[in-house]
Structure 1
Amino acid sequence: MSLPVLFPLRAVSTATVRHTDAPHGRRRITIDHHPLTGVTPAMLLDWFTHLDGTISYGGDVVARYLAWHPLDHIRWELDRPAPGGGAGEGARFRIVEAFGGDPRHAVDVVDRVEKLDETGIRLVTRFAGAILLQLEHTWSACVEGTHYVTVMDIGARSALMGPVNAHLRRRFPDDMARAWVRHNIEEVGQLEHLLPRLARSSAAPPR
């Protein structure tokens, strides 16, 4: 069951979105988000390395992943820990969600974390060594808080993978891409509300 939405969901108009077609049927979607006020790169790194944690939300203690997008997120699990343990580089994340809460736009994927540090996170799906899907979130400090950019690349670069890319485009059609864009803008915007509260609760002295 979905959690209540406690904080406003950002509109698509708050971000700059670009759709780019590339050779061999590849597609790139870039989202330049409105800055996250009160959020630091260190907070984002802590968030992504502790997605299995909990957070106080509406008077209850709930899974962080569910609070991150109360309408669309269904399940997150650490499919395989990083070589050093936990959710670091080399780990595999299982992500289950439905964009816009629509079962037609549901995904259940296992992605490898190929980068995770104070500058961002990169999630990759490979087949026979070739990258089929790459989702990268990059962040940096700015005057307002944190500048956050999301880039999704769909399809392999090799011309030989053209038929596979065509299949991926059918599996991720235009309407689903638009639903994902809205989902991503909404979930990134929620971090502006969740992370500062989480930081304050962590800093509060024990009673």
Structure 2
Amino acid sequence: MSLPVLFPLRSTGTATVRHTEARHGRRRITIDHRPLTGVTPAMLLDWFTHLDGTISYGGETVPRYLAWHPIDHIRWELDRPAPGGGAGEGARFRIVEVFGAHPEYAIDVVDRVEKLDESGIRLVTRVAGVIAVQLEHTWSPGVDGTHYVTVMDLGARSALMSPVNAHLRRRFPDDMARAWVRHNIEEVGQLEHLLPQLAAESAAPLVSRAARPEAACTG
């Protein structure tokens, strides 16, 4: 499904990006985003625990995941529910994306959710039981809106995993990393538009019920 881009996509200049090289061929990419106005940590937690939901977008009802990035996002699936059900800690997410709409930058991965609460979400990919890729989004309330930071760790810490790290670097070269940075900045920026809309839609039925005569206090 191809969707129009209804809201402006943030440019890479709106965030602070740092690339760090570490031992055994590891790489870390940190993106400190411009604050999300009108967004709260509770709204972000609700978003990530209901990625299988829908949203009104351009007059149609569409999957939330596609509206999140109408160009790059292809599919999201709950590959395995959390032990308590749903998309909580312990769940597995299948994520299919194409960064910058370039076929050579396509990914189709299944990540385990190792953290999901009002402070953020952490997704990991393990090889032989060792964390090889970790993507963490953390957020906190601020004066200008929610402060949102993305950190991707590519590669395992063990020297024994150096060959795996080298493979990951070939699979995720510099040009693809740059495309991913742009993608991440764009999708995080979209939350500033989508989440307040969802909050308003959720509040509307409550207002409607409160306005009914039978809902009023008769004394």
TM-score range relative to shorter protein: over 0.9
Cα distance in 2 for residues equivalent to 1:73 and 1:143? 31
For residues 176-187 of structure 1, the aligned pairs below 5 Å read 176-187=176-187
The ranges of structure 1 where at least 4 consecutive aligned residues each deviate by more than 3 angstroms after the TM superposition are none
TM-score relative to the length of structure 2: 0.94
Cα distance in 2 for residues equivalent to 1:175 and 1:117? 32
- Deviation, 1:128, is 1.2
Cα distance in 2 for residues equivalent to 1:177 and 1:116? 25
Question: Percent same amino acid among aligned pairs?
Answer: 86
For residues 95-106 of structure 1, the aligned pairs below 5 Å read 95-106=95-106
| Other structure's SS at 1:150 match | strand
For residues 5-44 of structure 1, the aligned pairs below 5 Å read 5-44=5-44
| Other structure's SS at 2:141 match | strand
TM-score relative to the length of structure 1: 0.99
Gap runs ≥5 in structure 2: 210-219
Report what 1:124 is aligned to.
Answer: 124
Amino acid at match of 1:67: A
For residues 146-165 of structure 1, the aligned pairs below 5 Å read 146-165=146-165
| Other structure's SS at 1:204 match | helix
| Other structure's SS at 1:37 match | coil
For residues 1-207 of structure 1, the aligned pairs below 5 Å read 1-205=1-205, 206=208
Gap runs ≥5 in structure 1: none
Larger radius of gyration: 2
| Other structure's SS at 1:5 match | coil
| Other structure's SS at 1:84 match | coil
Cα distance in 2 for residues equivalent to 1:33 and 1:194? 17
- Deviation, 1:66, is 0.1
Cα distance in 1 for residues equivalent to 2:121 and 2:78? 15
Which structure's residues are more often strand, by fraction?
1
What's the Cα RMSD here? 0.7
Amino acid at match of 1:148: Y
| Other structure's SS at 1:166 match | helix
- Deviation, 1:131, is 0.3
- Which whole-Å deviations, capped at 9, do the CAs of 1:104-160 have from their partners, x for residues lacking one? 000000000000000000000001110000000000000111000000000000001
